[in-house]
Amino acid sequence: MTRNVGGADRTLRSIVGAVFVALSFFVDMPGWSMLAFAVGIAAVATAFLRYCPINTVLGRNSNRDASALR
């Protein structure tokens, strides 16, 4: 699994993911809360793992680390 998330992209995913997870607990709209939670967890997971399958499909790589090709 090649790391393709790094730098500002990783930070942004972490922040946005945390905000979505937090909002899912405070907003009283059942369908939206579940969707916000799922999107938030996915964003945090891709930031933590430093891999995003959508980036792979689109051919994007925001990781500038030389050891990213492991």
Q: 């937090």: which residue's tokens?
A: 22
Look at residue 30 in the predicted model and tell me its pLDDT: 84
pTM of structure: 0.84
At 39-67, the pLDDT tens digits run 999 999 999 999 999 999 999 999 987 56
Burial class of residue 52 (count of CB atoms within 10 Å of its CB; 0-12, 13-18, 19+):
buried
What phi and psi values does residue 61 have, to the nearest 5 degrees? -150, 110
CA-nearest of 36, 1, 44, 43 to 20 is: 36
Determine the Cα–Cα distance for residues 42 and 39; give it in Å rounded to an integer.
5
CA-nearest of 25, 13, 9 to 65 is: 9
